[in-house]
């Protein structure tokens, strides 16, 4: 059994708020988006949740924030039989693992090795939130009729990322290695790297087909086409910024020059254009 301390609640919330967890005011509503009869994306506050309910039981990917967790449990309970058996985490950030201690109290939490390392090293997270099972490069969970692969492709958004491939459902949960229609956040201080991120998303593109459903860390449920547009944006912006750097332009000048007009809407989320240029310039 895992216990939950009050300290933990406040701390994870702070961690969550400095990360692009959507911290909109007011009542959080959990909205389900259907992928198939057994697989859903749940939208609430924080990173998108994957929710699988089949003859094997109930499993979810990511847990948003502590104060949202009871609502997630309620929604999942209303939509399925039985309680959550497994929680898979895409990475350690507080808007994806904040509800771990609540939801994981009676479930088994699975994640990459460094999710446990990072959660246990930060000195603020309750041990109740730590993953129970960890892996280094790949792990497969056979869950009812679904085969689920957790794949760590190397540093990208952080150094602890997994993509969660629901192989039988042709669906991939990307965690924060995909922001749908928005410039991505890359956590350089936690081992993230733009080069690795681009490498990872190109590799995932090779696993998709036009029917593939893609769950982004943030933003609406996506198609293969949406994901390919994201990769094309990443490649073009990265090319522009790296050329400017090679030409000897300063970061300030590169920001002043800006990115093509067509990407204006991509900078209206958590990461603005100047921040996106900065991470590409300093992280590459
Ligand atoms: Zn993140």
Domain that holds residue 235: 6-283
Q: What percent of the chain has pLDDT over 90?
A: 87
Could you tell me the distance, in angstroms and rounded to a whole number, from the CA of residue 237 to the centre of ligand 1? 20
Could you tell me the distance, in angstroms and rounded to a whole number, from the CA of residue 176 to the centre of ligand 1? 5
- Would you say residue 96 lies in a domain? yes
Could you tell me the distance, in angstroms and rounded to a whole number, from the CA of residue 267 to the centre of ligand 1? 17
Which has more pLDDT, 15 or 260? 260
User: Which pLDDT does position 25 carry in this prediction?
Assistant: 52
- Would you say residue 223 lies in a domain? yes
Per-residue confidence band for 124, with pLDDT thresholds at 50, 70 and 90: confident
> Each residue of 155-210: pLDDT tens digit?
999 999 999 999 999 999 999 999 999 999 999 999 999 999 999 999 999 999 99
- Would you say residue 135 lies in a domain? yes
How far apart are the C-alpha atoms of 57 and 47, rounded to whole Å?
23
- Would you say residue 1 lies in a domain? no
Could you tell me the distance, in angstroms and rounded to a whole number, from the CA of residue 56 to the centre of ligand 1? 29
Could you tell me the distance, in angstroms and rounded to a whole number, from the CA of residue 132 to the centre of ligand 1? 20
- Would you say residue 108 lies in a domain? yes
pLDDT at 119 over 80: yes
Could you tell me the distance, in angstroms and rounded to a whole number, from the CA of residue 28 to the centre of ligand 1? 20
Could you tell me the distance, in angstroms and rounded to a whole number, from the CA of residue 247 to the centre of ligand 1? 32
Could you tell me the distance, in angstroms and rounded to a whole number, from the CA of residue 244 to the centre of ligand 1? 28
Could you tell me the distance, in angstroms and rounded to a whole number, from the CA of residue 227 to the centre of ligand 1? 17
How far apart are the C-alpha atoms of 123 and 104, rounded to whole Å?
19
Ion ligand 1 neighbours (CB, 5 A) are: 93, 176
- Would you say residue 63 lies in a domain? yes
CA distances from 168 to 178, 191, 213 (A): 21, 31, 12
Could you tell me the distance, in angstroms and rounded to a whole number, from the CA of residue 236 to the centre of ligand 1? 23
User: Is residue 140 a contact partner of residue 119, using CB atoms and an 8 Å limit?
Assistant: no
User: Which pLDDT does position 23 carry in this prediction?
Assistant: 44
Q: How many domains does the chain have?
A: 1
Could you tell me the distance, in angstroms and rounded to a whole number, from the CA of residue 233 to the centre of ligand 1? 19
| pTM of this structure | 0.90
Could you tell me the distance, in angstroms and rounded to a whole number, from the CA of residue 168 to the centre of ligand 1? 26
Could you tell me the distance, in angstroms and rounded to a whole number, from the CA of residue 79 to the centre of ligand 1? 27
Could you tell me the distance, in angstroms and rounded to a whole number, from the CA of residue 20 to the centre of ligand 1? 7
Could you tell me the distance, in angstroms and rounded to a whole number, from the CA of residue 91 to the centre of ligand 1? 7
CATH of the domain at 50: 3.60.15.10
> Each residue of 93-113: pLDDT tens digit?
999 999 999 998 889 999 999
Could you tell me the distance, in angstroms and rounded to a whole number, from the CA of residue 39 to the centre of ligand 1? 22
> Each residue of 2-49: pLDDT tens digit?
333 333 333 333 333 334 444 445 789 999 999 999 999 999 999 999
- Would you say residue 81 lies in a domain? yes
How far apart are the C-alpha atoms of 84 and 91, rounded to whole Å?
19
Could you tell me the distance, in angstroms and rounded to a whole number, from the CA of residue 108 to the centre of ligand 1? 21
- Would you say residue 255 lies in a domain? yes
Could you tell me the distance, in angstroms and rounded to a whole number, from the CA of residue 12 to the centre of ligand 1? 13
């Amino acid at each position: 059994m895992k216990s939950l301390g009050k300290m933990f609640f406040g701390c994870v919330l702070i961690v969550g708020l400095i990360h692009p967890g959507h911290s909109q005011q007011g009542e959080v509503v959990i909205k389900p988006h259907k992928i198939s009869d057994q697989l859903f994306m749940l939208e609430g506050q924080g990173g998108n949740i994957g929710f699988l309910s089949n003859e094997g039981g109930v499993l979810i990917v990511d847990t948003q924030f502590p104060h949202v967790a009871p609502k997630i449990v309620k929604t999942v309970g209303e939509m399925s039989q039985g309680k959550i058996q497994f929680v898979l985490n895409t990475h350690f950030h507080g808007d994806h693992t904040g509800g771990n201690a609540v939801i994981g109290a009676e479930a088994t939490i699975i994640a990459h090795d460094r999710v446990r390392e990072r959660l246990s090293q930060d000195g603020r997270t309750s041990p109740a939130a730590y993953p129970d099972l960890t892996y280094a490069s790949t792990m497969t969970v056979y869950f009812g009729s679904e085969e689920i692969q957790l794949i760590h492709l190397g540093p990208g958004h952080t150094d602890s990322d997994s993509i969660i491939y629901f192989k039988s459902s042709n669906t991939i949960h990307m965690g924060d290695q995909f922001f749908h229609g928005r410039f991505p956040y890359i956590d350089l201080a936690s081992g993230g790297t733009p080069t690795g991120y681009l490498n990872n998303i190109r590799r995932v593109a090779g696993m998709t087909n036009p029917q593939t459903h893609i769950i982004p860390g943030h933003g609406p449920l996506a198609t293969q086409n949406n994901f390919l547009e994201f990769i094309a944006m990443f490649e073009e912006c990265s090319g522009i910024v790296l050329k400017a750097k090679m030409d000897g332009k300063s970061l300030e000048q590169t920001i002043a020059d800006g990115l093509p007009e067509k990407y204006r809407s991509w900078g209206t989320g958590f990461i603005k254009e100047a921040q996106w240029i900065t991470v590409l310039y300093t992280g590459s």
